[in-house]
Amino acid sequence: MYARRTRRDTRGEAVEPDLDREARERAARRDEAVRAAVEQGLLGPDAAVAGLLDVTGIRASAAALRAAFDAVVPPGTPVLHAFAVKATPLVPVLRLLSEAGIGAEVASPGELALARAAGVPTARTVLDSPAKTPAELREALTLGIAVNADNPQELHRLDALVRSAPTRSPLGLRVNPQIGGGSIGATSTATETSKFGVALRDEGAREWVVRAYLDRPWLTRLHAHTGSQGIPPALLARGVAETYALAQEINERAGRRQIDTLDIGGGLPVNFAAEATAPSYAQYARLLAERVPGLFDGRYGLVTEFGRSLLAKHGTVVARVEYAKSAGGRRIAVTHAGVQVATRTVYAPGAWPLRIAAYDAKGRPKPGPEVVQDVAGPACFSGDLLAEGRALPLLEQGDYAAALDTGAYCFAHHYAYNSLVRPGIYGFAPDGSGGVAFAAVREPQTVAEVVAESGGAHADALTTLWAPGSR
Ligand SMILES: *Cc1c(COP(=O)(O)O)cnc(C)c1O
């Protein structure tokens, strides 16, 4: 039924006419927000860097995700979209998503605590880490949170817990279909030697997994997360297809529908090269429906765990240009955003390039002409560059450089190099009278907090230890 509603272009590709408009509107909201942030003093000489989150955009992505899967499953199919908290571990973001009907995928005690602080219901929370301690497992089962065991040893821990007390937790096992990696090694989770899940193609592994289910009637879910940025959707779909085939095999051998829910992970890549959301959730859901039709015929409940694709496009880190200089004929804008807010980009610029937008001292988009320049961060190593040799309107002292698409795995993941403070993060939305309203999501860190986190309370800890000749 969804296929009939889909427009096709001349090559038969699905066309989504709204995607261009969506991208234009997002860019316009961002420009308004940067100007308003400067006007309202969230950015300025005393606030040299800030993260901005587009509340309208986050809501729209959450709605698009739900609509995409609603369009391919029969009505009434249980579908839980659990946001991968590690992508944007901020309590107000989790609350916003929760209100939009999105749950949480957590992978540490800290992430679980964030989800609970945000009020995400335990029935909409999934625990997935590769190194869960007995205490974490026990807490999850006490709370009734869904758990995916990573490996045989963890499954044995679950055996003991399930025997010791009844639990509401839906329990599953993570498998690695070993379908191969993508263009970024660090985010390829389904390589032959990946640390995640039970490696399905290893000698005897598939049979071991089937037996593990037959021996444990309470094991009702099957989980795979076969990639992240750099993995093409077709390869993700292959991982989902392999997982589905395994569930079918297990249920056939069990002679009943023992596995009732498939957790297909997240990993939809984000288009960091341009404004457009591509691929979209609708495109991915249609691809899955085409490649793995049985997944959507209503026999299985579904869990998804998207992270980056929900938030990346809705975050912008904006930094003041403290100085503009030149060296060896290269123009360099020295800004306050670098390795502390865009760690992956700075250390692996080839894999994680970011678009940069130039704004003037009042926060208005800077017109051209473009000049090849480096956009540098504040940290004391020469590789601390947000962009190298990038053609942009010339950034001058007092201007602002904005790193786009940084709403996931960037400014929410502060890296404390040079004891640089965590910047403030502000959500923005229309104020109802033509302007922009901001709400603090996370206050800027103070220097006093940096001292406290750096052993400030233990200043004499080392000098008061016993030293030779002191007694
Ligand atoms: C990181 C992670 C995700 C989310 O990945 P994205 O690429 O951010 O969508 C989902 N599931 C698991 C198990 C993860 O580790």
Tell the residue number behind the tokens 């003991």, with chain if given: 160
Distance CA 315, CA 54 (A): 6
Q: Which of 147, 150, 183, 225 for mutating ligand 1's site (highest number of atoms within 8 Å of CB)?
A: 225
Q: What is the pLDDT of residue 16?
A: 58
Relative to the CA of 308, which ligand 1 atom is closest?
8
Q: Hey, do 73-306 and 313-450 end up sharing a CATH topology, with the first three levels equal?
A: no
For residue 130, pLDDT beyond 90: yes
For ligand 1, say whether the CB of 308 is within 6 Å of any of its atoms: yes
For residue 18, pLDDT beyond 90: no
| pLDDT > 90 in the chain, percent | 88
Which secondary structure element, helix H or strand E, spans residue 138, and what is its range? helix 134-143
* CA of 437 relative to ligand 1 center, distance in Å: 31
Q: What is the pLDDT of residue 468?
A: 80
Segment 461-471 mean pLDDT: 82
Distance CA 110, CA 119 (A): 14
Q: What is the pLDDT of residue 49?
A: 98
Q: Say which residues have a Cβ less than 8 Å from residue 396's Cβ, sequence separation at least 6.
A: 321, 324, 333
CA dihedral (241, 244, 249, 250) positive or negative? positive
Distance CA 312, CA 84 (A): 12
| Lowest model confidence (mean pLDDT) among 11-15, 301-305, 374-378 | 11-15
* CA of 227 relative to ligand 1 center, distance in Å: 8
For residue 17, pLDDT beyond 70: no
> What does the DSSP 8-state code read for residue 100?
T
Q: Report residue 428: phi and psi, to 5°.
A: -130, 155
CA angle 345, 348, 352 (to 5 degrees): 50
Q: What is the pLDDT of residue 408?
A: 98
Tokens coding 149: 């065991």
Domain locations in the chain? 73-306, 313-450
Segment 219-230 mean pLDDT: 92
Q: What is the pLDDT of residue 227?
A: 81
Q: Which residues pair with 112 in a beta bridge?
A: none
Q: Report residue 307: phi and psi, to 5°.
A: -125, -80
Q: Which of 65, 81, 85, 86 for mutating ligand 1's site (highest number of atoms within 8 Å of CB)?
A: 86
* CA of 306 relative to ligand 1 center, distance in Å: 6
Q: pLDDT tens digits for 46-79?
A: 999 999 999 999 999 999 999 999 999 999 999 9
Relative to the CA of 305, which ligand 1 atom is closest?
10
* 313-450 CATH fold: Lyase, Ornithine Decarboxylase; Chain A, domain 1 (2.40.37)
The end-to-end CA distance of the chain, in Å, is 85
Judge whether 320 and 398 are in contact, CB under 8 Å.
Answer: yes
Confidence class for position 113, pLDDT limits 50, 70, 90:
very high
Q: Which of 305, 314, 406, 409 for mutating ligand 1's site (highest number of atoms within 8 Å of CB)?
A: 305
**3-state SS, residue 284:** helix
Q: Say which residues have a Cβ less than 8 Å from residue 249's Cβ, sequence separation at least 6.
A: 210
CATH number given to 73-306: 3.20.20.10
For ligand 1, say whether the CB of 239 is within 6 Å of any of its atoms: no
**How many CA atoms does the CB half-sphere of 311 hold within 13 Å?**
30
Of all protein residues, whose CA lies closest to atom 2 belonging to ligand 1? 84
| Lowest model confidence (mean pLDDT) among 46-55, 141-150, 176-185 | 176-185
* CA of 93 relative to ligand 1 center, distance in Å: 17
Distance CA 236, CA 306 (A): 12
For residue 5, pLDDT beyond 50: no
Distance CA 204, CA 367 (A): 62
- Alpha-carbon separation of residue 73 from 226, 269, 295 (angstroms): 22, 22, 9
For ligand 1, say whether the CB of 225 is within 6 Å of any of its atoms: yes
Relative to the CA of 86, which ligand 1 atom is closest?
1
Q: Report residue 362: phi and psi, to 5°.
A: -95, 5
**What pTM was estimated for this model as a whole?**
0.94
Judge whether 452 and 60 are in contact, CB under 8 Å.
Answer: no
Distance CA 293, CA 107 (A): 30
Q: Which of 83, 105, 176, 311 for mutating ligand 1's site (highest number of atoms within 8 Å of CB)?
A: 105
For ligand 1, say whether the CB of 306 is within 6 Å of any of its atoms: yes
* CA of 23 relative to ligand 1 center, distance in Å: 24
For residue 398, pLDDT beyond 90: yes
Q: Which residues pair with 358 in a beta bridge?
A: 401
Other C-beta atoms closer than 10 Å to the C-beta of 67 total 12
Distance CA 180, CA 201 (A): 12
Relative to the CA of 228, which ligand 1 atom is closest?
7
* CA of 28 relative to ligand 1 center, distance in Å: 29
For ligand 1, say whether the CB of 188 is within 6 Å of any of its atoms: no
Tell the residue number behind the tokens 């045989």, with chain if given: 152
For residue 43, pLDDT beyond 50: yes
For ligand 1, say whether the CB of 111 is within 6 Å of any of its atoms: no
Distance CA 245, CA 224 (A): 12
Segment 6-23 mean pLDDT: 61
Mean pLDDT of the chain: 94
* CA of 365 relative to ligand 1 center, distance in Å: 34
For ligand 1, say whether the CB of 305 is within 6 Å of any of its atoms: yes
Which secondary structure element, helix H or strand E, spans residue 423, and what is its range? none
